[in-house]
Structure formats: C-alpha cells, structure tokens
Amino acid sequence: MTYLTPPPYQLNLEHVPNYLDIKVQAESIDTYRAIRLWSEIILLMERHNVPKVIIERNIGITLDSAQTYRTITEVAPLVRSEMKFAVVDANADDYSIEFEELVASNRRMALKVFADRDRAHTWLTT
C-alpha cells in the first residue's frame, strides 16, 4: 500500500525478543488514518515475521464507536490467526475499551486494551 502524504502520526518501532514494541503519537486520528495506521502495523509484523505486538497509543482526539467499528472491520481481513495485539491506552474509558475488544473479537482478532503496560506485556507473552 502506497500513500502520497506522510502519516499524521509518529510511529516508533522497537523489535524486542518475541514481539514488536510500537509507540504511536498523534494529536488526533480519524477513520482513514486509523485504517492506515493499523495496516502499517500489520505490515511491520509481517516484515519482521513477528505475530505479537504491544501498541502504546498516545492520541489526543480518538475514534468514536462508529469509527472504531469501521476501522476494525476494514483491517480484520489483513490479520492472520496467529497475530496478537496488546494495546496500551491510559486515556481510554471502559466503554471504549469493551467496544473495541468486542468488535475485534467478533472478527477473530486477538486484541486487548490495557491501561498499563505491565498487564499488556503479561497478556501478550502468556
């Protein structure tokens, strides 16, 4: 997938043993850019041949429920069954976390959202 404009987010990648550690920072994100971000993360997992990732999100204005639904629905076909996503988002509220996890689960994506990194790491590595 080729894009003509630079992404409106900053993505930092570290390849640690057994998983990728990705930090994402942006002032805001919309559906199109979220799909682009998820596609980029999945591509990085494939390039590094690593099926597990911790994604630490630091995004000011984020997606509403309808945008979350559309984003996950769009990227789910790109996800292989062995892929596992631990998302760290200290700013997410309980409803948003539950909704994102439910939509992902219904599309057979192993995705959990955590408020702290230690719990995300434990879930990802067990």
Extract the tokens encoding 33. 């850019």
Q: What is the pLDDT along the chain (126 residues), one digit of tens a residue?
A: 555 677 889 999 999 999 999 999 999 999 999 999 999 999 999 999 999 999 999 999 999 999 999 999 999 999 999 999 999 998 889 999 999 999 999 999 999 999 999 999 999 999
pLDDT of residue 71: 98
Extract the tokens encoding 77. 């076909």
Go through the domains of the chain in sequence order and give each one's CATH number: 10-125 (3.30.750.24)
Helix 94-106 crosses helix 65-75 at what angle (to 10 degrees)?
30
The CA distance from 62 to 69, in Å, is 13
Instruction: Work out the percent of the chain whose per-residue pLDDT is above 70.
Output: 97
pLDDT of residue 22: 98
Per-residue DSSP letter, 34: H
Count of CB atoms situated within 10 Å of the CB of 97: 16
Count of CB atoms situated within 10 Å of the CB of 116: 9
